Amino acid sequence: MLYRYLLILLIIFPIKAMALIEVDITRGNLSPLPVAVSPLSIDDNSKENFKKILKKENLGAEISLIVENNLKQTGLFNPLDKNAFLQKPDVANLKPRFEDWNLIKAQALITGKVTFVEDKLRVEFRLWDILAGKEMMALAFTTVPSNWRRVGHIITDKVYERLTGEKGYFDTRIIYVAEEGSKTNRIKKLAIMDQDGFNNKFLTLGNELVLTPRFSPTNQMVTYLSYFRNLPRVYLLDIETGMQEVVGDFPGMTFAPRFSPDGKKIIMSFAQDGNSDIYTMDLENRIVERITNHPSIDTSPSYSPDGKYITFNSDRSGYQQIYIMESNGKNVKRISFGNGLYGTPVWSPRGDLIAFTKLHKGKFYIGVMRTDGSGERLLTENFYQEAPSWSPNGRVLIFYRETKTNAKGEGFSAKLWSIDLTGYNERLIETETDASDPSWSSLLTN
């Protein structure tokens, strides 16, 4: 399986130059950095071999397209038209003629080389600062040929990190619920895809309703809600082996699961006799702990990245609001005080913000607030949208949006969207089917 072969050996060459170019990611970037992504050069022999194995005419060009597309999607970079490039890929990788690249207004240049070495794919790439006329970074790695798309993502992660000073989020995957059929009898399946929508795979057949899959932050486990045998319960699924099991032995519905930051516990709601409270189960010793004990609905729990706090959704004030508490359930404090109802709080992986869904005057918003509830910012407004999930670097949110049906009840759709923390760069994420409940994985390689 793909994930078994994480044979990516990163050999880091010394970095020679100081970065002179920098990308500002703290606000909506209205002038994205012009960057030239040269096709990675490839010799004829390697070309033939990869063509045989992967059915790709020119693997060097294909990988550079992945990088180009990733950079473009960030909204921070403006990849330049390859037709304007004056220098051949192989020559550019040895030593770019900086004047040529300057002429087409490129500020950064990515070059590289792809070779077929003992049945493996070897890739090297370099990042150049055109204005300074210097190499900023050079890396090489070797992996199995079938990992070729991941190579493109890893290159993007390295480039992004070098230019922005923050980790990337490209060598990641999204788990979500694929939806088909009429609104009144929706078929739902678990599905997984690369962050850019490729390598889509269905993980369940659609025989039972499945909801709210969430990635473990530490491994290839997923927790989700399944209506298997009409008993809504939280399940644990190993996506490498396909093995799954019910989490805990509860005499009623368990739902709204998430992992703790160390991946060792699952936190979720358990509903009984009309009351939902928050519980955890330790995946090693199976010990179940009750965290809240209140006659209101307590749900949608999410840990802070240090594991010390939990944010959750409760209607103990009369309506849905966002609360935080210590991880043992002590010191419950309401933090949402704006107009409207608040749901689905999710703690940012950076720790400083909580993303949420807000319902106010018939509109749904995705927003963020500080962990004390101050500084509320609404990023996007729509007829219906909810369930934000953070990119592993805490820079982008993915969520789903549903359309309003017409008078005959037609025209329903559910799609995944992403938006920057800044509120800029809102994008539709193309999926084979309708989609909801996205959850972003951690970086697969660090």
Partner 1 sequence: MNLSKILKNTFLILIASLVLSACATKKTTGQLQGDVYTGTDSVEYLASGVPDRVFFATNETVLTTASRDTLRKQAAWLRKNSDINVVLEGHADERGTREYNLALGERRANSAKDYLMTYGISSDRISVLSYGKERPVDSGSNPLAWSKNRRSVTVKAN
Considering only 13, 27, 95, 182, the residue that binds partner 1 (CB under 8 A) is: 182
Give all strands (DSSP E) within 150-274, no chain letters.
173-180, 187-194, 201-202, 210-215, 221-226, 233-238, 244-246, 254-259, 265-272
Q: Enumerate the β-bridge partners of residue 360.
A: 363
Q: Does 209 bind partner 1 (CB under 8 A)?
A: yes
Quote the least distance from Cβ 429 to partner 1, whole Å: 19
Quote the least distance from Cβ 267 to partner 1, whole Å: 12
Quote the least distance from Cβ 255 to partner 1, whole Å: 5
Half-sphere exposure of 60 (CA within 13 A, CB side): 25
Q: Does 437 bind partner 1 (CB under 8 A)?
A: yes
Residue type (1 letter), 151: V
Q: Does 357 bind partner 1 (CB under 8 A)?
A: yes
Which of 3, 319 has the CB closer to partner 1? 319
Pure H helices in 55-139: 59-74, 89-94, 98-103
Give all strands (DSSP E) within 286-421, no chain letters.
288-290, 298-303, 309-314, 321-326, 333-334, 341-347, 353-360, 363-370, 377-382, 384-390, 396-402, 414-420
List the structure tokens of 181. Answer: 């059929």
Which of 55, 404 has the CB closer to partner 1? 404
Q: Which residue has the tokens 């009984």?
A: 272
Quote the least distance from Cβ 359 to partner 1, whole Å: 7
String marking each residue 239-258 x if it binds partner 1 according to CB under 8 A = -------------xx-xx--
Under 8 Å between Cβ of 352 and 370: yes
Q: Which residue has the tokens 């037609």?
A: 410
Largest CA distance in the chain: 73
Whole-angstrom CA distances from 288 to 201, 268, 328 are 33, 11, 12
- Which residues in the 380-409 window bind partner 1 by CB under 8 A? 383-384, 386-387, 402, 404-405, 407-409
Number of residues that bind partner 1 (CB under 8 A): 45
Q: Does 185 bind partner 1 (CB under 8 A)?
A: yes
- Which residues in the 284-343 window bind partner 1 by CB under 8 A? 297, 299-300, 313, 315, 319-320, 343
Residues that bind partner 1 (CB under 8 A): 182-186, 209, 211-212, 225, 230, 232, 252-253, 255-256, 269, 271, 273-276, 297, 299-300, 313, 315, 319-320, 343-344, 357, 359, 383-384, 386-387, 402, 404-405, 407-410, 412, 437
